[in-house]
Homo-oligomer: A and B are copies of this chain.
Amino acid sequence: MTNMQGWSTSSGHCRAGRRRYTVLGTGLMGAAIAKRLALSGATVSAWNRSYGRSKPLVADGVVVFEHLNDCLQEPGTLILSVLDYDSASSLLQDHVAQLQGRDVINLITGTPAEAHEFAAFLSACGVGYLDGAIEAYPSDIGQPDAAIMFAGDRRVWDTHRDALLAIGGASQFVGGGPGAANVLDAALAGTFLNSSLGAACEAIAFLSAAGIDLRDPAVDFDYWIDLLRSEIHELVRALEADDFVTTTATLAVYAAAVRQWRAAAIAAGVRASMLSANLNNLERAESAGLGAQALAAQVRTMFTELGE
């Protein structure tokens, strides 16, 4: 431990029951996490490929190491915050002996397949594995509404729950395999949130092309977000109940409206990519005979097995 900086690691041993965490990767996110864990009373050590980036953490009570091998001499739970799954694998595969019996909490976000592969590798090393997906910015770490979704070994979640809630107050464990957090990330942050932001941008381009100022009081996105919320609740209700009877507007009525909206957007000089993709989905559902059902019925024709 010749390269150890800051607090002596022995200080951790003096406090019975105090948890020990080792953060690998102290970029913006890893540094925020290490700092937060130290603040919450845990004993925290850290390593970063570029030693200089981890050194400022000494001021926060984090023990920083220049060499990974030295850092892994420390006992305790590993928290991974390096660039991606590939970096994590290549980092750890030379240190398999030092992983045995540890818990590993991976906060790298990637695909569900990467999570499954990495979980299999670590499981072969005798590791308890938790796979997290962080739905917050580094500046949100430690806030009550910062969400991290965790999947994998429930025992690891139960053991480290307090520390993980200290990192993100809205964190939760999700059912399913080790890839489930990444699925939720890809489905909710990726498919829902990011596509909706793209749709908002396309709407703004349309308004601009038609000469309507974004500052016009009638351009009130909050009104439409409130409607979106109630219509999504209705979608979820219909899908949970498997009940696609509608008394308001059928899927065919929506398809006709989207066809007209898309024509208007194109006439105004907008490419209308999101409108076109949405229309394509609705027309596919219509072709499958779902035109008289509620909008939510389109979910049934979104799978490649059925659609193609």
Contacts and interface: CB of A to CB of B under 8 A. Distances in A.
Contacts of A231: 193, 197
Nearest to A216: B175
A216 B174 contact: yes
Given A170-B223, A211-B176, A264 B204 contact: no
A120 interface: no
A158 interface: no
Contacts of A229: 221-222, 225
A94 interface: no
A248 to B, nearest CB: 5
Interface string A273-296: 111111011100000000000011
Given A210-B183, A210-B187, A299-B201, A218 B112 contact: no
A31 B192 CA distance: 37
B274 A184 contact: no
Interface string A144-186: 0001010000000000000000000010111110011011111
Interface in A101-140: 110-113, 135, 137
The prevalent SS among residues of A at the interface is helix
Given A196-B228, A225-B229, A302 B202 contact: yes
B265 A232 contact: no
A206 B183 contact: yes
Contacts of A232: 197, 200, 221, 225
B223 A147 contact: yes
Given A113-B264, A218-B174, A224-B193, A281 B274 contact: yes
Residue among A110, A111, A173, A240 having the largest count of chain B Cβ atoms under 10 Å: A111
A302 B40 CA distance: 46
A275 B203 contact: no
Contacts of A214: 236, 239-240
A160 B231 CA distance: 31
Given A214-B239, A218-B184, A225-B225, A194 B271 contact: no
Interface of A: 110-113, 135, 137, 147, 149, 170, 172-176, 179-180, 182-219, 221-225, 227-229, 231-233, 235-236, 239-240, 248-249, 254, 257-258, 260-278, 280-282, 295-296, 298-299, 302-305, 307-308
8 contacts: A112-B210, A186-B206, A186-B260, A187-B212, A201-B302, A208-B299, A273-B277, A273-B302
